[in-house]
């Protein structure tokens, strides 16, 4: 009878089965658990401080990223879905039930929202029907001197936003291997999670993939690292320049 060679999968299955046997008085050699870092980028072997440094460096070096989730700041919850790169960003923001779009190209920031955003009280103390009709559905230029410019432009600034987010607080520790959207990750925590948790990719470049901010300050996912996207000035017919300061809404 001719022996049929076992395939790699069958051999692995047989070895696993043998290693699972427990026989009193008999020891099986050559049986060891699978290396959790096999085939990874190796950051899982590093101390948490170095993992955080590596992932921050990777994020800073990436040309673009998509960021989605929630951020709680100054008592307000913002729901974000933004695409960011070095010279600008675009996406949507929802805050206190009001949704609007942001577009920044260089230093020029635009805000686009519906009529109800600009006149939330229907004429009773809001911007007013005439102004709301003029601004609704248009890309409104946000003057750099307007109080909202600094707050909203931060949502479109890759470096500023990531620098403020990718910091865990307290004593750093690793919290095992996990998975995000089919990608293996190593998780690091600050003060056992109270200072935030961050999942870092174990595959390819060690990009941050998921962040849970400490103190219930929101949860964010990161994707499309390094994938460029177009940024284009809106058509003049779609743009409104309201002046030095936006109306209160």
Rounded CA-CA distance 102/151 in Å is: 12
3-state class of 86 per DSSP?
Answer: coil
In the chain, how long is the greatest CA-to-CA distance? 93
Q: Give the DSSP letter of residue 192.
A: G
pTM for the whole thing? 0.80
What pLDDT digit, counting tens, does each position of 88-138 carry?
999 999 988 889 999 999 999 999 999 888 876 654 444 457 778 888 999
What pLDDT digit, counting tens, does each position of 100-110 carry?
999 999 999 99
How sure is the predictor about 245, in pLDDT bands with cuts at 50, 70 and 90? low
The residue with tokens 């929202």 is 113
Angle between helices 158-165 and 48-61 (to 10 degrees): 170
Assess contact for 171 and 177: CB atoms under 8 A.
no
3-state class of 10 per DSSP?
Answer: helix
List the single range of 5-9, 172-176, 198-202 with lowest mean pLDDT. 5-9
Assess contact for 148 and 142: CB atoms under 8 A.
yes
Strand partners, 66: 83, 223
The residue with tokens 């933004």 is 82
């Amino acid at each position: 009878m001719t022996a049929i060679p076992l395939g790699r999968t069958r051999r692995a299955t047989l070895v696993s089965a043998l290693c699972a046997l427990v026989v009193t008085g008999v020891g099986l050699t050559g049986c060891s658990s699978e290396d959790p870092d096999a085939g990874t980028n190796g950051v899982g072997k590093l101390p948490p401080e170095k993992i955080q440094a590596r992932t921050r460096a990777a994020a800073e070096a990436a040309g673009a990223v998509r960021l989605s989730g929630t951020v709680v700041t100054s008592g307000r919850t913002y729901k974000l879905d933004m695409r960011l790169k070095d010279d600008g960003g675009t996406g949507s923001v929802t805050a206190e039930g009001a949704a609007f779009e942001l577009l920044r190209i260089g230093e020029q920031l635009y805000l686009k929202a519906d009529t109800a955003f600009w006149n939330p009280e229907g004429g009773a103390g809001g911007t007013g029907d005439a102004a709301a009709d003029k601004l609704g559905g248009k890309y409104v230029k946000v003057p750099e001197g307007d109080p909202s410019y600094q707050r909203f432009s931060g949502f479109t600034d890759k470096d500023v936003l990531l620098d403020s987010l990718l910091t865990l607080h307290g004593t750093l520790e690793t919290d095992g291997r996990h998975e995000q959207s089919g990608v293996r990750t190593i998780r690091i925590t600050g003060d056992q999670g109270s200072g935030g948790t961050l999942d870092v990719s174990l595959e390819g470049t060690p990009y941050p993939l998921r962040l849970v901010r400490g103190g219930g300050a929101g949860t964010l996912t990161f994707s499309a690292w390094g994938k460029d996207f177009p940024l284009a000035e809106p058509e003049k017919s779609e743009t409104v320049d309201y002046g030095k300061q936006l109306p209160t809404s």
